[in-house]
Amino acid sequence: MTGLSSTARPRCNLCASERVGVYHDQGYRRVVKCRDCRLVFVDPLPTPEQKAEIERLAYEGDLLPEVADFFRNCHRDFKDDPVIDAFRHGLRWLGTHRKPGRLLDVGPGTGIFLHLASTEFGWQPFGIDICQESADKALAEFGIALQVGDFDTYPWAPASFDAVTMLDMLEHTLDPAASLRRAWKLLKPGGVIYLAVPNQQCLMTVLLDRYIRMRGPGYRFFLERLYVPPHVYYFNPKTLRRMLGHAGFEILGVSTGNVYLGRYRLPLRMRVPMEIVLHAGKLAGMGAKVLALARKPETHQQPLPGA
């Protein structure tokens, strides 16, 4: 992870401001916050090649051993767990605004969300992932043929989907505003987008951010776990809502949800206090995830980038 260097001034992907404050310093990169719109992101951003390598290492579990088991429940004989429940909740929400049709999931990982979308909710599943291994797994486990490639350039016809979903994906992208504009183009008029991203205003993140900035004992451990290499943008309900609006979407709803720690390999002494803080955060409207549903208007033109 060395060699990430850039002399370019960091520029906010949401409001194009170059006024940023350094939030944390991780050595190989800084976590910065836009002074104008509060979007948090890393500087420098990795190159696309570096990003691909980071994702490969993360997927293989070399980078973050505690998430190595993350995909163990993503197979045909999956057991219901809170992650599956959250997927179903999202699909039910989607279904209240659009009849099932062609659904494109961007970054589907193992394909279990698409499997639920097609078998339980009647959607015709499509997906694109940069990782060949994901596509192989989705085909072997669920019989779903994913495209392997870059969402921003893959040659689908405009207005060819009824729904686009991006679950835990946007925080990984190098140009999230462009990815949302691309999703807008690919949606039919009246089509909907459903997103889930980590919430930068999650109670646990807010508390740990303070601890890290105070340089509490072992703060580096928390810094590296909170700001993992595959994540390059950090949203809160407000910044996600605003970026969707800039891309031309009409917001149908934004809420917060939680992560399921049972999928992580965590010692009990860490898991118990984390569960308590996550639960308190959820009650306070500061859950660990931002969930958003938005629609491409039936008639409106997409605003120009930066408008």
Chain contacts with Zn ion (rule: CB under 5 A): 12, 14-15, 17, 34, 36-37, 39
Taking the complex as a whole, how short is the minimal distance between the CB of residue 14 and Zn ion, in angstroms? 5
Comparing CB distances to Zn ion, the nearer of 39 and 202 is 39
Taking the complex as a whole, how short is the minimal distance between the CB of residue 249 and Zn ion, in angstroms? 18
Give the Å distances, CA to CA, from 162 to 137, 169, 287: 25, 19, 28
Tokens of 183: 């999703």
Comparing CB distances to Zn ion, the nearer of 36 and 224 is 36
Taking the complex as a whole, how short is the minimal distance between the CB of residue 175 and Zn ion, in angstroms? 14
Taking the complex as a whole, how short is the minimal distance between the CB of residue 35 and Zn ion, in angstroms? 8
Taking the complex as a whole, how short is the minimal distance between the CB of residue 4 and Zn ion, in angstroms? 22
Taking the complex as a whole, how short is the minimal distance between the CB of residue 273 and Zn ion, in angstroms? 33
Comparing CB distances to Zn ion, the nearer of 40 and 259 is 40
Residue reference for tokens 């987008």: 193
Comparing CB distances to Zn ion, the nearer of 40 and 286 is 40
Length of the chain equals 307
Comparing CB distances to Zn ion, the nearer of 14 and 203 is 14
Report the side by side order of strands in the sheet with 20-25. 20-25, 30-34, 40-43, 233-234
Comparing CB distances to Zn ion, the nearer of 42 and 192 is 42
First to last CA, the chain: 35
Q: How many CB atoms lie within 10 A of CB 249?
A: 27
Taking the complex as a whole, how short is the minimal distance between the CB of residue 282 and Zn ion, in angstroms? 27
Comparing CB distances to Zn ion, the nearer of 34 and 290 is 34
Comparing CB distances to Zn ion, the nearer of 39 and 278 is 39
Taking the complex as a whole, how short is the minimal distance between the CB of residue 15 and Zn ion, in angstroms? 3
Residue reference for tokens 């980078």: 63
> What does the alpha-carbon distance between residue 16 and residue 28 come to, in Å, rounded to a whole number?
24
Q: Quote the DSSP letter at residue 149.
A: S
Comparing CB distances to Zn ion, the nearer of 36 and 53 is 36
Taking the complex as a whole, how short is the minimal distance between the CB of residue 97 and Zn ion, in angstroms? 29
> What does the alpha-carbon distance between residue 81 and residue 83 come to, in Å, rounded to a whole number?
5
